[in-house]
Amino acid sequence: MDGYGRQSGATVMVVDDVSASRYAMGAVLRRAGHDVVPVASAGEALSELDVRLRAGALPDVALVDVGLPDMSGFELCRRVKARPSTAALPVVHFSATAMEAGDRCQGLDSGADAYLTVPAEPREIQAVVHAAMRRARRRTAAEALAHRLTLLSEAIVTVQTARCLGELADAAAAGAARLSGTPAVVFVIGPDGEPHWGSSPSSLHLPRSHGFARPAGTPNALPETAPHVAAARLITRIAEGRTGRTGVHSTVVPASLWPAGFFRPGVREDARLIVASGQEGRVQVCIATPACAVPQRGAGRYRYAAPPRGATNHDVPADARRHSAVLPVAAPPVERPAERLAQATALAAEPLLMYQAERDIALTLQHSFLPQPYRLPALPGVEVVVRYVPASRQAEIGGDFYAALRTEGGVLTAVGDVVGHSLDAATVMVEIRHALRAYCVEESDPGTLAARLDRMLQHYHPDVTATVCLALVDPGTGRVRIANAGHIPPLLVRDAGDAEYVPVDGPLLGLALDRPEPSELVLTRGDRLLMVTDGLIETRGIDLAASMEQLRTAAAEAPAGLDALCDTLLSCFGRGREDDIAMLALRLG
């Protein structure tokens, strides 16, 4: 600091082709405590800036003589300001000859931060240099803050549009990585204590998965010794200590507690945690980044340094505190937006957790109304195999169903779908199944049953439509009567290795339209009859007829047996579907 309390110790580039002037200007600056980089021409100045830019050591200010031999100081300033990498460098023009008002205006118009006429008092030179540096630093800080706020707003928008906790954690992790310039991992912990997590794209060595509570041996099960599992356990314990508390809290977990190689393979380093709670303190969000990343001077660059130390944080369990301490630290400027991101993520997680809990309840109820494969009634003379695959976690619940019932006329099978994806659709599906069970006690003809279901929907749910395919099989003769109400027709897979759709159609249930007579066919030994809902093959943007033809071809080429047929088709068409899938296959016993 000088006698006026101004900061010293800056690096100043002096560009002047006169060696005596360079020496005099450099002497004044050195006495003020600055490092001086003397340069004799504009070309040499540009080369020196390139070298220092690669080394990450640009000067803090450039003093440029207006009358350079190879290029005017005005043009040199324009070139420096035109390059994004050096645009923030403060430039001060000076001259002993160009001293008119027009010269000063030309210098300022070229992008210079100040104009100095020489000879000048040393204190005036120092004051002009300090003023130019001050303005540049404030401008750089304002631009960096605006950039961080832009990144923050973009990250919050992405977080708020997440459809599930996995997407939420990934979006928050990507935003945190952009804000910090380092790898970032986000943990979202709900009231049940189960952590969901997401990692930034730069954390490529971390597996990308959204839950730790998978049973061992399941596909993609995570090893118990994995670094992210150990981190999740520590984060969960910290979150348990903050249950019921609100607000944002920042801590540093020393490397002795944090799993080695979490952010960078083979590196043991401290972790900075930003923990935020939802409105009621039941949801905890933790953003984890390397604790040694602190901002450098410049536009968003970072270097590694030792984190500060402080008192023990009592949110850490006692057994952890005995070994080491999690330390509260003062948040650097870059952490403020990250805190806001953590808080926004916690607020967005609460409705997602509520929706997930309600959806799980609805799915449990929906699935409880469906007959389980091992609970199918005994069906003498007919072998039946069913499959039911719920949609992905992001999709809504639907109204798909199947049934296999004993009647006086034979074995009645049905596959159907209530139009729509909601809890209402699921409840109507249950009513249709129970109505079908009640009707078939006295009536087994598929055409009559379809008509009765149609009237039931019209009476109790006039705004709802549904599709259903009914098949009545006589095990003794192999005779099959099929009625169809707007559903995909059954697929007859012959023992000879070909497949064809049964020509049967009819209007949807709930429209009060006339219905055609059921179709009939005769099953022979080895023939398989397949009934599916459209969730198996329907894809947005692809004609349903084309998808049905693909299904027919795959069924014809499937191995023998009902289980092999169903499993083959599910492996071909059932991955990543946004709708439930119900499938029923039968053959004579």
CATH number, domain containing residue 282: 3.30.450
- 183 and 300 belong to one structural domain: yes
Q: Residue 436 has what pLDDT?
A: 95
Residue 14 contacts residue 25 (beta carbons within 8 Å): yes
- 339 and 383 belong to one structural domain: no
Residue 195 contacts residue 187 (beta carbons within 8 Å): yes
* β-strands 91-95, 35-39 pairing: unpaired
Q: Is residue 248 part of a domain?
A: yes
- 56 and 136 belong to one structural domain: yes
168 to 187, 343, 381, 388: CA distances (angstroms): 10, 13, 52, 28
Sort 17 into a burial class: Cβ within 10 Å, 0-12 / 13-18 / 19+: middle
Beta bridge partners of 582: 388
Decide which of 283, 315, 346 is a domain's last residue: 346
Q: Residue 213 has what pLDDT?
A: 31
Give the CA-trace dihedral at 88, 92, 93, 96, to 10 degrees. -170
Tell me the average confidence (pLDDT) per consecutive run of 10 residues in the chain, 589 residues long. 50 90 89 90 90 86 90 90 87 83 81 83 86 82 79 87 83 87 84 70 40 32 57 78 71 85 81 82 82 46 35 35 36 66 85 74 65 68 89 61 92 91 78 93 95 95 94 95 96 90 95 93 93 87 89 93 93 77 91
The domain of 87 spans 11-145
Decide which of 121, 145, 169 is a domain's last residue: 145
Sort 57 into a burial class: Cβ within 10 Å, 0-12 / 13-18 / 19+: exposed
The tally of domains found in the chain comes to 3
Decide which of 296, 313, 346 is a domain's last residue: 346
Residue 253: which of 193, 320, 302 has the closest Cα?
A: 320
Q: What is the pTM of this model?
A: 0.49
- Burial call 71-107: b when 16+ CB within 10 Å, e when fewer: ebbbebbbbbbeeeebebbbbbbbbeebeeeebbebb
Q: Is residue 355 part of a domain?
A: no
CATH code at position 83: 3.40.50.2300
- 110 and 165 belong to one structural domain: no
Residue 143: which of 304, 340, 297 has the closest Cα?
A: 297
Q: Is residue 98 part of a domain?
A: yes
Cα–Cα distance, 252 to 273 (Å, whole number): 6
